[in-house]
Amino acid sequence: MSEAGTGATNRLLGYPADARLLIINADDFGMCHAINAAIFQTLTAGVVRSTSLMAPCPWARHAMP
């Protein structure tokens, strides 16, 4: 069985080996104020677990508290 099939990733993340996980990533962080506000809200609520920062965009500094 492969490493992925053993549940090692789940255990590293603190979940049971047989858990099915859905990790939601929010794209376009830093694009505009409305997107930043929505991503901050979903991160705080625990819906989104990761995001991708658009560093050259106008609202990138706002996204990096």
Judge whether 48 and 26 are in contact, CB under 8 Å. Answer: yes
Phi–psi pair at 38, nearest 5 degrees: -65, -40
Residue 65 has pLDDT above 90, yes or no: no
Q: What is the three-class DSSP state of 5?
A: helix
Of the candidates 36, 35, 5, 10, which has an alpha carbon nearest to the alpha carbon of residue 21?
10
Lowest pLDDT segment from 13-17, 39-43, 59-63: 13-17
Is the pLDDT at 34 greater than 70? The verdict is yes
